[in-house]
Amino acid sequence: MEIKKVCVIGAGTMGNGITQVVAQAGYDTAMVDIKQEFLDRGMNAIKGSLARVVKKGTITQADADKVVARIKTYTDMKAGAGDADYVIEAVFEKAEVKQPVLKQLDEVCLERTIIASNTSSIPISLLSSATKRPQKVVGLHFFNPVPVMKLIEVVKSLTVSEETIATSVALGKSLGKEPVVVKDSPGFIANRIANLAANEALKVLEEGLASAEDIDKVCRLAFNWPMGLLQMTDLVGADVVMDLGESIYKETGWERYKPAPLLKRMVESGYLGNKAGKGIYTMFGPKQ
C-alpha cells in the first residue's frame, strides 16, 4: 500500500517526535491536537530538535525549514486525518483516553487507512475493539527521544492483517528506524524489561543503598548504558513509568511490576521528570 500522507494525533513528547521523523522522511504530515497551544508547543519542540541537528551540521537550515513547512497542524480530527493514508495516535497513555480517539478516527478516516497506536503497554486488541477495522489497527511503539532512538515495536494483535503489519514495517524502515514485530502481550518486549529495571532502581534509591547519582553511575559504568535508569525515568516521566508498571501488573498479576512506593509518591507530588521541570534529580540529586 502506498503511503503519501501520515497524520499524527497528539502533539506531546512522543507525538511531536513522531511528527518530526515522519516529516523528515518526506511524507505529507499532519499533526492534530485538541488545542492550538498544544500544537504550538509541539511545533516549537520540533523546531528545537531540528536546531540541534542543524547546529551539528547533520542537516542544513534550508532542509530543516522544509521539514517544518511539510507539517500542517489541526485542531479538527477530520480535517487532519480524513484524507491520510496512515494515522499514528500518540495521545495520553490511558485506555479510556485512547479508545474514544480510535473510535473517532475510525469514523473520520478513509476505509483503506491504517490506524496505529503508539502505546507502550495497552493491548492493541482492546484499542482495536473501539473500531470497525481491527484488521487495520496496529501498535507502533516508538522510543524517547524519537528522532534518536532506532527501535519501533510493531505490535501484532490477533486480528490485524499481514498486509497492515507489512505496511507498518515498511513505513518504520522509511523513517530510518528498525522495526521489530512483537506479539500483543503486556508491556510488549522493551517495557517488560525496562520497567522492571527502572522500578528496581527506584527501590534501591528508596532503600538508601546509594545516592541517585551513584545508582545511575553503576548503570552507566557496569553496562555501558548511555544513561542511568533514574535519569531515564526523569526523561520518560515518572507517571509514564508508574502507569506502565500498573498496567502490566493489572493484566498479569505479576507482583514484581507493582510500582515502587517512592515512584508513586513522586507522581503524587508532581515530580514527573523533565517535562515538569522537576523529578528524581531535583529531589535526590546533588544540591546546588
Q: Which of 49, 120, 128, 195 is catalytic?
A: 120
Q: Which is nearer to ligand 3HC, 209 or 227 (CB)?
A: 227
User: Which of 144, 161, 252, 274 is in the footprint of ligand 3HC by CB under 6 A?
Assistant: 144
- Within its chain, how far is the Cα of 278 from the centroid? 20
Nearest residue to ligand 3HC, by Cβ distance, number only: 120
Query: Is 160:131 a contact under the CB 8 Å cutoff?
Result: no
Stretch that binds ligand 3HC, among 46-54, 83-91, 199-207, 257-265 (CB under 6 A): 46-54
Please say if 153 is a catalytic residue: yes
Query: Is residue 240 near ligand 3HC by the rule CB under 6 A?
Result: yes
**What count of other Cβ atoms lies within 10 Å of the Cβ of residue 72?**
15
Query: Is residue 145 near ligand 3HC by the rule CB under 6 A?
Result: yes
Query: Is residue 147 near ligand 3HC by the rule CB under 6 A?
Result: yes
Query: Per-residue string for binding with ligand 3HC, 176-195, x by CB under 6 A?
Result: ---------------x--x-
Q: How far apart, in whole angstroms, are the C-alpha atoms of residue 137 and residue 156?
A: 9
- What DSSP state is assigned to residue 273? B
Strands (E) across the chain are located at 5-9, 28-32, 71-74, 86-89, 114-117, 137-141, 151-156, 178-183
Q: How far apart, in whole angstroms, are the C-alpha atoms of residue 211 and residue 228?
A: 12
Helices (H) and strands (E) in the chain, counts: 13, 8
Stretch that binds ligand 3HC, among 107-115, 141-149, 178-186, 210-218 (CB under 6 A): 141-149
Query: Per-residue string for binding with ligand 3HC, 52-81, x by CB under 6 A?
Result: xx--x-x-----------------------
The least distance separating ligand 3HC from the CB of residue 43, rounded to whole angstroms, comes to 14
Pick the closest to residue 16 from 66, 56, 71 (CA basis). 71
Query: Is residue 149 near ligand 3HC by the rule CB under 6 A?
Result: yes
Q: Which of 89, 141, 199, 247 is catalytic?
A: 141
Residue 243 has φ and ψ, to the nearest 5°, of -60, -40
Query: Is residue 143 near ligand 3HC by the rule CB under 6 A?
Result: yes
Q: How far apart, in whole angstroms, are the C-alpha atoms of residue 238 and residue 273?
A: 6
Residues 6+ positions from 266 with CB-CB distance below 8 Å: 238, 272, 279, 280, 283
User: Which of 158, 227, 261, 268 is in the footprint of ligand 3HC by CB under 6 A?
Assistant: 227
The least distance separating ligand 3HC from the CB of residue 241, rounded to whole angstroms, comes to 7
**What count of other Cβ atoms lies within 10 Å of the Cβ of residue 22?**
28
Please say if 191 is a catalytic residue: yes
The least distance separating ligand 3HC from the CB of residue 118, rounded to whole angstroms, comes to 8
Q: How far apart, in whole angstroms, are the C-alpha atoms of residue 288 and residue 270?
A: 21
Q: Which residues bind ligand 3HC (CB under 6 A)?
A: 49, 52-53, 56, 58, 120, 143-145, 147-149, 191, 194, 226-227, 232, 236, 240
Mind telling me the catalytic residues?
Answer: 120, 141, 153, 191
